[in-house]
Amino acid sequence: MTETLATLSRRIRSTTDLQSVVKTMKTLAAVNIRQYERAVVALEQYNHVIEAGLQIVLRNRRLQQPVNNRELASLGTIIFGSEQGLVGQFNERVALFAAERMARQRVARESCGVLAVGMRVAAALESVGQPVDHVFAVPASLGGIVPLVQTLVLRIEAWRRDRGIERVQLFYNQTRTAASYAPTRVQLLPIDWQWLGELQRRRWPTNQLPTTTLDWDVVFSGLIRQYLLVALFRACAASLAAENASRLASMQAAEHNIEEHLDMLRLRYHQRRQDTITEELMDIISGFEAFAAEEPACQSSFKTPALSNLPV
């Protein structure tokens, strides 16, 4: 079926509108990347404060790693993904990465707790054979991360209290460049006692040591809770930055494809317009030739009377 000029013109307009939407989404993704990355950088400063607090609390204390026979028998996992599409293989990559790691850990299903942040990553986990206990919505903005993190901390505490889950790990995508990312794993619990030992041995920068009148257990547990909040916030913010990096890459590819499609439509429009003009010219020429062919016949059938026959 031959496309008319009106049809091609409508397709060009709709494709141009789509191109405008893609450009807007690409700009928003780039802005969001910088926003979440700045949040991660700012969080590092708060993390230094927590480390300084632990450094003081652990000073002159004897660290003894607790022995827990249930540690290797139970495992909690939190996987961060996306709630929306147009992110390429973002959810599939982190889901496959997490499923492969969990399979190598060889923990019985009844001893595992799995939480997914994002409907799409939950679906990706189910597709690779990894059941999910509960799905949380991905925060729509930076301000929504804190309520989510607080809820996750409560879930972790419930895991430890009700199911004896002592190990907790995080899986999420992390940006590598402006438009690329890679899945990563972070052990949240148990606390790395080697890291605590390094904090304990670290030299305090001044001669004035902070003190507290609170009970040691209260201060230490409060700092550990803040450590968990920071780690979860960092994972969520990093995942959101990577999600927007994936969306930026998808929008760049879509923009390239739209530009090629638009060029093709414009070429077809100009070709069709030229064909239409050519057809109109051919019709004019054919009409002129037909008229020119009929003119001699008309002239031969019309005879001029002789002057001798005219009445005087």
In a domain, 23, yes or no: no
Residues 169, 191: Cα–Cα separation, whole Å: 11
Question: In this structure, what CATH number is given to the domain that contains residue 157?
Answer: 3.40.1380.10
Percent of the chain with pLDDT over 90: 36
Domain span holding position 237: 33-246
- Domain contains 2: no
pLDDT: which is higher, 307 or 112: 112
Rounded-to-10 torsion of CA 185, 187, 193, 194: 0
| Residue 160 lies inside a defined structural domain of this protein | yes
pLDDT in tens, 216-270: 889 888 999 999 999 999 999 999 999 999 888 888 888 888 888 888 888 888 8
Structurally, the chain folds into a number of domains equal to 1
Any domain includes 231? yes
Mean pLDDT, range 47-54, rounded to an integer: 90
In a domain, 303, yes or no: no
Give yes or no for a contact between 123 and 150, defined as CB atoms under 8 angstroms apart.
Answer: no
Distance between CA 151 and CA 154 in Å, rounded? 5
Burial class (CB in 10 A: 0-12, 13-18, 19+), 18: middle
Evaluate if pTM is beyond 0.75.
yes
Question: What average pLDDT score do residues 195-224 get?
Answer: 85
Residues 267-301 have pLDDT tens digits of 888 888 887 888 778 878 877 777 777 766 555 55
